Amino acid sequence: MSIRIVSLNVGKPQSFIYKGTDVPTGIFKKPADEGPIALSALNFEGDGQADLVNHGGLDKAICVYSYEYYAYWEQELRRKLDYGAFGENLTVLGMTEDQVCIGDIYAIGNVRLRVTQPRQPCHKLAKKYDLPELPLLVQNTGYTGFYMRVLTPGLFDRTLPLTLERRHPHGITVAYANTIKHHDKHNLEGIQALLAVEELSRNWRVSFEKRLAGNEPSADERLKGTK
């Protein structure tokens, strides 16, 4: 299946009130205007993150989510979802987690991007939909989306084809990374296979190294601290 960018979504950090508490977040994204958009090493023009400890940075410059899952979540959430519903920058077809590998390089025009890690949903997504269990539901389905690093910044023209330039030779899919991270946690062979991928994000690398050392934070702690 060919890849298609359904929507390019951006949004500056803003705050909303949730149960009497002010929540700063960059999760609210809306489709960008037509035409090419400048993409730096950190952001699309007009985009930003509120929590720069857990979000953004070189390894998480672009968040990608599959449009294939929208129908499922519309049924689960019982509402129509607009593009950018999961805080993603790119809503895409043909790039599900079982089709994309950590370290894969994609090109669109002169821009080049590299897959770095699965996306881990957090309490901001739960608060957006007023559904505390939503991050865990997303995690358990495996419909997480993933992050990309910008290798070559430039003008991003969503009307151009987005193509796989280089499949990573290790072939570790985002889906497999999710399985090792969240379900098959004591699979030492799987952890070592992921750590052997040099392009794996620093955040996930440190997490797996801590797991091997017996110092990884609990699942609840992770879900409280990420977008």
Alpha-carbon dihedral sign for residues 181, 183, 188, 190: negative
CB atoms within 10 A of CB 26: 23
Domain total of the chain: 1
Q: Which residues contact 57 (CB under 8 A, 6 or more apart)?
A: 42
Residue 51 is encoded by which pair of tokens? 């929590």
How does pLDDT run across 100-116, given as a tens digit for each residue? 999 999 999 999 999 99
Q: How confident is the model at residue 223 (pLDDT cuts 50, 70, 90)?
A: low
What are the tens digits of pLDDT across the range 166-214?
999 999 999 999 999 999 999 999 999 999 999 999 999 999 999 999 8
List, for residues 77-103, the tens digit of each pLDDT value. 999 999 999 999 999 999 999 999 999
Residue 41 and residue 58 in contact, taking contact as beta carbons nearer than 8 Å: yes
Q: What is the DSSP string of 71-112?
A: HHHHHHHTS---TTTTS-SEEEES--TTT-BTT-EEEETTEE
Return the CATH number at 211: 2.40.33.20
Which domain does 214 fall in, by range? Answer: 4-225
pLDDT given at position 50: 75
CA-based nearest residue to 59, from 136, 150, 140: 150
How many H helices and E strands in the chain?
Answer: 7, 12
Residue 37 has pLDDT above 60, yes or no: yes
How many other CB atoms are there within 10 angstroms of residue 159's CB atom? 10
